[in-house]
Amino acid sequence: MNLRSDTQTHMETILFYEKPGCQNNIRQKKILELSGHVVHSVSLLEHPWTKEELGRYLGEKVVADCFNRAAPAIKSGLVNPLDFTKDEALEAMIKEPLLIKRPLLKIGNHCIQGFDTAVLQNLINLKPVQGNEHIAEEFGSHDLNSCPHIDNSTCINKEQ
């Protein structure tokens, strides 16, 4: 059941917090744009987060699920997402934004963490506008949530 009755035709303006250069964030934004939405990108790494604002995106999810499992500190074992309370997680994520599972999306009054197509389809249209079907299929055929870099190096260093 859709939360909006006009999801098939209504275009939204979406605030999209991303890690610049992230391949999945690029694909995710393209899917939104091909569906007719306007996407405003903001660097997740440079945004001046507060606990209150970031907490709205994390919502009531299990704290460990709010972490970016591809973050270098997590992959190396330096940070264990299971060791945090929500308050501690927010503090850690504000200090080191790479720990934040992305993207974060603000659509109207809704704050969403992650690119969950089922959640998004309840809020907005994700079907490509006429003429974009073939392009959208190409972008939608990839895993849109897992980091495609085994060693995460290209997400950290742009020169690699």
In angstroms, rounded to a whole number, what is the distance separating the alpha carbons of residues 91 and 86? 9
Q: In whole angstroms, what separates CA 55 from the centre of its chain? A: 14
Residue 134, both tokens: 């073939």
Residue 23, both tokens: 């391949």
Q: In whole angstroms, what separates CA 63 from the centre of its chain? A: 16
For residue 22, indicate whether it is catalytic. Answer: yes
In angstroms, rounded to a whole number, what is the distance separating the alpha carbons of residues 112 and 57? 5
What count of other Cβ atoms lies within 10 Å of the Cβ of residue 117?
13
Which of 22, 111, 147, 155 is flagged as catalytic?
22
Which active-site residues does the annotation give?
A: 22
